[in-house]
Amino acid sequence: MSFDFAIIVDALPKMLMGIGLTFQLLIISAILGLTLAIGLMLMRISGKWYLSWPAQVYIYIFRGTPILVQIFIIYYGFPQLEFIRDSFLWPMFRDPFGCAIFALTLNTGAYVSEILRGGVLGVDRGILEAGSALGLSVRQKFIYLTTPIATRLALPAYGNDIISLLKSTALASTITLADMTGIARTLVAQTFAPYEIFISLAIVYMILTWILQKSLGRVERYLGRYMEK
């Protein structure tokens, strides 16, 4: 079998036209997902069963099902429901972009909330006791002690989830979106050259991952500057 570089040279610029959509999916669902995750994590550690229990069920459902299935349920399933078609949310669920953002957000939120909880639980109890002894309120301890320390502790695992989310955005191509993977699939259908096109697509994702890794490493070092002797 031959490897035709001409196809790659031709296909690469076309695929890169989808990079904007890939970034939109990544950034919007990462931000919304983090917000959701903070809420879920607070519910989970609240110590109140009526908050912690729903959060746990939610996390179980979204970690327990494939994200592709979640995307299909939202994109193909929701329009079947009359109350969704009649609601103000319909413009979002009618649009594949809205559905993809919704699914990615809900999914990453479930994973990240557990990552954040791990960070919060990792904060040394003695440090919080010192805060109490100095007269800090529960809220002050959470803001000034738990949050910064837990953020640093959670960061490596969180970075892992962001990288995983980047790859999950490729699933949006299954519901007609022309992100990089979506464009690649169209090109394959036109050129019958899956090998060249998917390999070059893979390389683009690797480059993006490398950039993410380096940036996350920088943030880690900055937030962890107090850990270096």
Question: What's CA 24's distance to the chain center, in Å?
Answer: 12
Q: Using CB under 8 A, which of 35, 46, 87, 140 touches other proteins?
A: 140
Please identify, among the stretches 42-50, 97-105, 127-135, 196-204, the one whose residues bind other proteins according to the rule CB under 8 A.
127-135
Query: Is there a contact between 109 and 101 (Cβ–Cβ < 8 Å)?
Result: no
Tell me how far, at minimum, the Cβ of 160 lies from other proteins, in Å. Answer: 22
4 or 129, CB closer to other proteins?
129
32 or 136, CB closer to other proteins?
136
3-state DSSP helix/strand/coil percent for the chain, to nearest 5? 85, 0, 15
Please identify, among the stretches 17-25, 36-44, 91-99, 129-137, the one whose residues bind other proteins according to the rule CB under 8 A.
129-137
Query: Is there a contact between 40 and 110 (Cβ–Cβ < 8 Å)?
Result: yes
Query: Is there a contact between 198 and 188 (Cβ–Cβ < 8 Å)?
Result: yes
Does the footprint of other proteins cover residue 101 (CB under 8 A)?
A: no
Does the footprint of other proteins cover residue 136 (CB under 8 A)?
A: yes
* Integer Cα distance of 142 and 161 in angstroms: 24
Does the footprint of other proteins cover residue 225 (CB under 8 A)?
A: yes
With b for 16 or more beta-carbon neighbours within 10 A and e for fewer, the 122-139 pattern comes to ebeeeebeebeeeebeee
83 or 226, CB closer to other proteins?
226
With b for 16 or more beta-carbon neighbours within 10 A and e for fewer, the 37-46 pattern comes to beebbbbbbe
| Window 18 to 77, contacts with other proteins (CB under 8 A) | none
Q: Using CB under 8 A, which of 31, 57, 81, 127 touches other proteins?
A: 127
Q: Using CB under 8 A, which of 54, 148, 194, 217 touches other proteins?
A: 148
Tell me how far, at minimum, the Cβ of 148 lies from other proteins, in Å. Answer: 5
* Integer Cα distance of 150 and 139 in angstroms: 15
Six token digits for residue 117: 């909880």
Q: Using CB under 8 A, which of 3, 53, 60, 144 touches other proteins?
A: 144
Does the footprint of other proteins cover residue 149 (CB under 8 A)?
A: yes
Query: Is there a contact between 179 and 17 (Cβ–Cβ < 8 Å)?
Result: no
For binding to other proteins (CB under 8 A), which residues are involved? 124, 126-127, 129-137, 140, 144-145, 148-149, 152, 225-229
